[in-house]
């Protein structure tokens, strides 16, 4: 007996149970429900599958290597520095071809600085004085150029002067850039080698066009339409694509982002994975044009004379920072995300049914009767049970009579 | 006929079908189910919508540009280097205002090194010798300072000496920093210009307060309460906020992270998107205080004398590395994530019903009877069918008799 | 009356309503449904919970600090530069121990360059000339080394020459590297200190083994099997693990990625969170071996003679760029992701039921009868209602007769 009971239980495990539905002949709600279903199916197919490629497993952990190389020369002629020829070894800072690089477009050299005593720059706040008491000996002010000696240097007794400092003298002169000195920096070219890898799919690629034409890389220039896969850019072209004029930016300096975007659909094959270049100015916010923009910094070159005394050249350089950023993702068909997306999309339809139920049961006129049919109360079943028993009895009675 | 059949099929497509429920008058399970429903609704509203802003489309691909600029001077006086004035052009490495920068706080100069022969540093392992055989000619040891000449330099025959090397002589002396030499590095200020963009929403902003007061940026200092939007920081203040004393860190060096966090709710308007600054020490792990911390490296300055011979200064610098990192995300209302979040939240309620079903059917006393009602077996229907036929027949019989 | 009505409504709120199912005694669909259920449960447990640890809250915003330090010396002997000893202060560029560093393995020095007039490099395109007209005065060509003086320098009247330029003379000679000059760069060691933090869990750790043995860090070398937690690497070993020979790469240069991966299961305790090192060559794409690989750049050292005239050394350096990248995520048990994953997994089963329904109702022979039972039409209910009334009547009739 027990055996057959468990056997029954086990067999009933493989009876398929499916939800019982009641049919409400309500065309309004029916049409609404079909519309909701259609929009979910449209969402699943259109958005999840076509637009977002939900059937693909994606790898966003792009590994990227960037090597940059600039070419071009420029000549400057200033009173302090004389005639100078600038090559990439001088105007690219740092010179090692990194993803973030600074190109000098303007500069001010203060040659032959030696440690000694001289007057503070009059532009320095708190550097002004009326007498020696204003220049406390040994005091260092944040924006200053050295340590105060305690003397106030004035033209005559009644004028305002500046404190004497011990520092690198002569101090840098006040300089208002009128235009870039490296006038043809606009024509410099930058060669961006970008190698990427998607470790999950063991896929690697380079932004340099695969070609058998050796001279292609010597002659080509990037052009969104004509040469989208040429990795050599004119600096002037980059700023133009970012929406700014090179000469305007070059005077005071700025920062440009070069974004390389790899959106690779590996189902379409290796050769369909191409880089997209975007250019944007990074140091200007739309809302706040008033911030003093510009990019400059100072660096030094140290020398020693025959006596072993140190002197230096102080270079204040203005220029454009180029910031090469790589974004990317790759997708490839995989069964698991496909199943998840289909399943959760179908599950979402339950939400549609929920809304239609609310409308049918609580907003429709005949809602009450639907409610009764949808929610089968226990007494209905009891009544049916009672009914059956009654009929049995009656049948027996009827049969006995006919006999 | 066929036409009306398909018409019927088509019309029945718009019949709304809704699941049939049975009502179990079981208050315990009912209350449990309502509680589960309430907690899911609470989760959807509280967590997904209020806390995680699930109704928003987000952009986490923040594009950021950082320009840093230090100000401040310091004076050092050492036997090797004499009286020196340090400006940002010297103590910031690299000088070009990048997001990762190193501020020198301590140093040891070894001036006038020339290529030649001298004794190896006694601190170098494997550099010790008892006689010339220990110093193989041409051998280079990993931690050494040059190539061995093959001679062992000893005071007298019985003592242990060090191998003679060909390298930059004199070699650097042993140096145990007792305290920072650039004592007022604590008072240097760093100005961090951060420009961000959220390309998806074409939104850009800067961390520099939009103000018409020109002198604000010359005078202000960051303070979490008083001036949260002033982008100028005292170095000492930064280390203090990270939980460390500047002078302690400055002796041997260290690494500080400055994290700028942009959490922008663009539904609230442009001006409600503010940066948050966090400071943390990066080179100390909580669990392992024993690792010799510190940050130092060596760099050189090359000179040539009148005869064209090269000599150099070797500078071992200790200091604090500042690492400005930008994180951020922006959110804006969008219909698709809202629909997904509502839908999947509702779908989750199915899980609650599943649990309640298990309790009702298998753990309750009357579970058996509920099971019978929930899972309508075919024979019930067959019985009902039979019942109906019987009643029809009986009706006919009864009717025929009454006539 | 109204009170008891609302009371009824309120009480019925706590009646548990559960879906009514019909049992289809179809073993094929039943087994299919159980298989689908099993595979979903397997997916939830196996994939979501065991493989992806879906019960954990994760933090992927790893904060990382990297300090690198190289050790080793090398000696080179070239005609231009003479006998030179290279230490880390010279061959590591930049010297400040950053995450991206370049190690010089080969170089060409052009010493004593002065501004003046000399012939353009014959390798420069457009630098060739037949007479002075080809060399327009003041013209600068992109790949050139200076500004044209207007003269064409030829051996004799019939030969092709190169334009004379004003620039840093003598210009760099043509150099085809035959092998690395820093031959023992392979034996240099790199010490990578990596400190990480997971701010969400306030967890921090270092890749340096916690040990009481002070000499461990002085002697150990990384080995995937023997010393996986020793952070000191041989350069030659790194390239070998990336699949390349050091000497081959060293001649022309290249780029190597060192990926440190932290996959921390914080439920297992602090000491179970270990770094994994991966090494990969970054500048070679699988598909395109033809691209001229290599990594070189130029930098300069400026000098002044007694008369104050500037001259310089131009160094073209070839080498290997090491790119230390840190990835990581940490997970810790949390109730919310657990609930979401269980719930959505269960919701997914609805999709399985949907497929089985389609098969049962539209592909099975008896589908029609199942369809009728599944979708309860209104008239069935009407019939039942009618049936009940009839039985009532008959009962009454039968009863009246028997009396």
Inter-chain CB proximity A346 and C344 less than 8 Å: no
pLDDT of the residue at B200: 85
Confirm or deny that B316 is annotated as ligand binding. yes
Facing A343 at nearest CB: one of C21, C348, C388:
C348
Q: Where would I find the H helices in B148-279?
A: 216-219, 235-241, 246-252
Average pLDDT along chain C: 83
As a three-state string, the secondary structure of C226-245 is: CECCCCEEEHHHHHHHCCCC
Q: How many helices (H) and strands (E) does chain A have?
A: 9, 19
Chain B closest-CA separation from residue A158 CA (Å): 28
The mean per-residue pLDDT over the stretch B373-398 comes to 67
Cα separation of C72 and C90, whole Å? 11
The mean per-residue pLDDT over the stretch B232-240 comes to 93
pLDDT of the residue at B134: 86
Q: How confident is the model at residue A285 (pLDDT cuts 50, 70, 90)?
A: low
pLDDT of the residue at B361: 80
Cα separation of C210 and C229, whole Å? 9
Q: Where do the structural domains in chain C lie, given as residue ranges? A: 21-55+334-374, 63-110+176-332, 121-170
Q: How confident is the model at residue B107 (pLDDT cuts 50, 70, 90)?
A: very high
Helix, strand, coil % over all residues of chain A, rounded to 5? 35, 35, 30
Inter-chain CB proximity A65 and C142 less than 8 Å: no
Q: Which tokens belong to B251?
A: 């002796």
Which of C288, C292, C326 to mutate against chain A (most A CBs within 10 Å)?
A: C288
Contacts of B306 in chain A (CB under 8 A): 306
Contacts of B360 in chain C (CB under 8 A): 16, 18
pLDDT of the residue at C240: 93
What pLDDT digit, counting tens, does each position of B258-317 carry? 999 998 888 887 777 888 999 998 887 655 454 457 899 999 999 999 888 999 999 999
Cα separation of C236 and C244, whole Å? 9
Q: How confident is the model at residue A381 (pLDDT cuts 50, 70, 90)?
A: low
The mean per-residue pLDDT over the stretch C164-184 comes to 90
Q: How many CB atoms lie within 10 A of CB B240?
A: 14
3-class state of residue B2 by DSSP = helix
> What DSSP character marks residue B172?
P
pLDDT of the residue at A344: 67
Inter-chain CB proximity C305 and B302 less than 8 Å: no
The mean per-residue pLDDT over the stretch C83-109 comes to 93
3-class state of residue B20 by DSSP = coil
Alpha carbons within 13 angstroms on the beta-carbon side of residue B339 total 17
The mean per-residue pLDDT over the stretch A63-92 comes to 91
CATH code linked to domain B21-55+334-374: 1.10.287.940
Lowest mean pLDDT among A128-137, C98-107, C186-195: A128-137
A238 vs A394 pLDDT, higher one: A238
Chain B closest-CA separation from residue C71 CA (Å): 6
pLDDT of the residue at B337: 75
Q: Which residue of A has its CA nearest to C346?
A: A347
Longest dimension (CA), chain A: 147
| Residue C43 pLDDT exceeds 60 | yes
C203 vs A125 pLDDT, higher one: C203
Cα separation of C253 and B327, whole Å? 34
| Residue A230 pLDDT exceeds 60 | yes
Lowest mean pLDDT among A126-140, A244-258, A265-279, C39-53: C39-53
Inter-chain CB proximity A115 and B83 less than 8 Å: yes
CA angle at residue A289 from A288 to A292, to 5 degrees?
Answer: 105
| Residue B208 pLDDT exceeds 90 | no
pLDDT of the residue at B40: 80
| Residue A341 pLDDT exceeds 80 | no
Contacts of A390 in chain C (CB under 8 A): 391, 395
Inter-chain CB proximity B144 and C75 less than 8 Å: no
Q: Which residue of B has its CA nearest to A370?
A: B18
Contacts of A14 in chain C (CB under 8 A): 27, 30-31, 34
Inter-chain CB proximity B167 and C73 less than 8 Å: yes
Confirm or deny that A189 is annotated as ligand binding. yes
The mean per-residue pLDDT over the stretch C18-39 comes to 84
Cα separation of B218 and B238, whole Å? 19
| Residue C179 pLDDT exceeds 90 | no
As a three-state string, the secondary structure of A108-173 is: EEEEEEEEEEEECCCCCCCCEECCHHHCCCCCECCCCCEEEEEEEECCCCCCCEEEEEEEEECCCC
Confirm or deny that B70 is annotated as ligand binding. yes
Contacts of B83 in chain A (CB under 8 A): 115, 166
Q: Which residue of B has its CA nearest to A300?
A: B89
Q: Which tokens belong to B294?
A: 């510190």
Cα separation of C146 and C115, whole Å? 10
Confirm or deny that A316 is annotated as ligand binding. yes
Q: How many CB atoms lie within 10 A of CB B180?
A: 26
> What DSSP character marks residue A360?
I
Cβ burial of A385 (10 Å; 0-12, 13-18, 19+) is: exposed
Inter-chain CB proximity B376 and C375 less than 8 Å: no
Give me the interface pTM, i.e. the ipTM: 0.81
Q: Which of B253, B240, B320, B321 is nearest to B292 (CA)?
A: B253
| Residue C341 pLDDT exceeds 80 | no
Q: How far is CA C48 from the centre of its chain?
A: 22
Facing A303 at nearest CB: one of B303, B339, B342:
B303
Helix (H), strand (E) at residue A241: helix A235-241
**Neighbouring subunits of C (3+ Cβ pairs under 8 A):** A, B
Contacts of A323 in chain B (CB under 8 A): 65
Facing C89 at nearest CB: one of B93, B314, B384:
B314
**Which position has the token pair 């007057």?**
A119
Strands A128-129, A146-153: pairing kind: unpaired
Q: Which tokens belong to C304?
A: 């002044």
**Which position has the token pair 């930008």?**
B326
Cβ burial of C60 (10 Å; 0-12, 13-18, 19+) is: exposed
Which of A288, A303, A383, A393 to mutate against chain B (most B CBs within 10 Å)?
A: A288
Cα separation of B313 and B303, whole Å? 8
Facing A283 at nearest CB: one of B95, B195, B210:
B195
Q: Which residue of C has its CA nearest to B117?
A: C85
Facing C18 at nearest CB: one of B286, B323, B353:
B353
Model's pTM, two decimal places? 0.85
Facing C93 at nearest CB: one of A21, A96, A212:
A96
Helix axes B335-358, B27-42, angle to 10 degrees: 160
C61 vs B391 pLDDT, higher one: C61
pLDDT of the residue at C221: 86
Chain B closest-CA separation from residue A123 CA (Å): 12
Q: How many CB atoms lie within 10 A of CB B354?
A: 15
Confirm or deny that C293 is annotated as ligand binding. no
Cα separation of B239 and B261, whole Å? 18
| Residue C346 pLDDT exceeds 60 | yes
Cα separation of A87 and C168, whole Å? 9
C259 Cβ contact list (under 8 Å, min separation 6): A63, C277, C278, C279, C280, C325, C326, C327
Q: Which residue of B has its CA nearest to A104?
A: B96
Task: Give yes or no for a contact between B57 and B336, defined as CB atoms under 8 angstroms apart.
Answer: yes
Cα separation of C28 and C363, whole Å? 12
Q: How confident is the model at residue B321 (pLDDT cuts 50, 70, 90)?
A: very high
DSSP letters spanning B257-320 = EEEEEEEEEGGG-GGG--EEEEEEESS-BTTBTTS----EEEEEEEEE-TT--EEEEEEEEEEE
Q: Which tokens belong to C24?
A: 């289809």
Task: Give yes or no for a contact between B175 and B252, defined as CB atoms under 8 angstroms apart.
Answer: no
pLDDT of the residue at B371: 77
Inter-chain CB proximity B17 and A20 less than 8 Å: no
pLDDT of the residue at B131: 85
Facing B303 at nearest CB: one of C19, C303, C390:
C303
| Residue A191 pLDDT exceeds 80 | yes
Question: Can you identify the CATH homologous superfamily of domain C63-110+176-332?
Answer: atp-gated p2x4 ion channel domain (2.60.490.10)
Confirm or deny that C71 is annotated as ligand binding. yes
pLDDT of the residue at A1: 47
Contacts of C303 in chain A (CB under 8 A): 303
pLDDT of the residue at B1: 47
Helix (H), strand (E) at residue B85: strand B82-86
Task: Give yes or no for a contact between C189 and C235, defined as CB atoms under 8 angstroms apart.
Answer: yes
pLDDT of the residue at B311: 95
Chain B closest-CA separation from residue A259 CA (Å): 9
Inter-chain CB proximity B115 and C74 less than 8 Å: no
pLDDT of the residue at C1: 47
Q: Which residue of A has its CA nearest to C281?
A: A65
Inter-chain CB proximity B323 and C65 less than 8 Å: yes
Facing C390 at nearest CB: one of B351, B374, B395:
B395
Q: Which tokens belong to A112?
A: 């032959």
Q: Which residue of A has its CA nearest to B69?
A: A297
Inter-chain CB proximity B166 and C342 less than 8 Å: no
Q: How far is CA A81 from the centre of its chain?
A: 41
Chain B closest-CA separation from residue A283 CA (Å): 6
pLDDT of the residue at C158: 78
Task: Give yes or no for a contact between C302 and C312, defined as CB atoms under 8 angstroms apart.
Answer: yes
Lowest mean pLDDT among A4-18, A96-110, B54-68: A4-18
What pLDDT digit, counting tens, does each position of C378-393 carry? 555 555 666 667 777 7
């Amino acid at each position: 007996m027990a055996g057959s009971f468990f056997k029954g239980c086990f067999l009933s495990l493989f009876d398929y149970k499916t939800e019982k539905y009641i049919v409400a002949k309500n065309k309004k709600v029916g049409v609404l429900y079909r519309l909701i279903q259609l929009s979910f199916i449209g969402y699943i197919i259109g958005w999840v599958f076509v637009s977002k490629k939900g059937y693909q497993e994606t790898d966003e952990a792009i590994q990227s290597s960037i090597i940059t190389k600039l070419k071009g020369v420029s000549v400057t002629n200033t009173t302090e520095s004389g005639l100078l020829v600038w090559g990439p070894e001088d105007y690219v800072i740092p010179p090692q071809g990194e993803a973030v690089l600074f190109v000098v477009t303007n500069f001010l050299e203060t040659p032959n600085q030696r440690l000694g005593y001289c007057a503070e720059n009059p532009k320095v706040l708190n550097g002004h004085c009326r007498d020696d008491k204003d220049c406390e000996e040994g005091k260092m002010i944040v924006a200053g150029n050295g340590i105060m000696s305690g003397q106030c240097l004035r033209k005559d007794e009644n004028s305002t002067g500046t404190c004497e400092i011990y520092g690198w003298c002569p101090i840098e002169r006040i300089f208002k850039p009128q235009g870039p000195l490296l006038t043809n920096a606009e024509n410099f070219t930058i060669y961006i080698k970008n190698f990427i890898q998607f470790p999950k799919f063991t896929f690697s690629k380079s932004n340099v066009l695969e070609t058998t034409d050796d001279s292609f890389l010597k002659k080509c220039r990037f052009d969104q339409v004509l040469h989208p896969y040429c990795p050599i850019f004119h600096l002037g072209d980059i700023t133009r694509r970012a929406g700014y004029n090179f000469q305007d930016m070059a005077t005071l300096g700025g920062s440009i982002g070069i974004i390389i975007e790899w959106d690779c659909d590996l189902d379409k094959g290796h050769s369909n994975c191409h880089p997209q270049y975007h250019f944007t100015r990074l140091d200007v916010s739309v809302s706040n044009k008033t911030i003093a923009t510009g990019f400059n910094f100072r660096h030094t070159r140290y020398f020693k004379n025959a006596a072993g005394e140190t002197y230096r050249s102080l270079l204040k350089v203005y220029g454009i920072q180029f910031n090469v950023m790589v974004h990317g993702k790759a997708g490839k068909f995989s069964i698991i995300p496909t199943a998840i997306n289909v399943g959760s999309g179908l599950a979402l339809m339950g939400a549609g049914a929920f809304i239609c139920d609310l409308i049918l049961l609580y907003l429709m006129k005949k809602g009450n009767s639907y409610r009764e049919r949808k929610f089968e109360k226990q007494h209905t079943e009891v009544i049916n049970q009672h009914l059956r028993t009654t009929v049995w009895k009656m049948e027996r009675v009827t049969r006995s009579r006919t006999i």
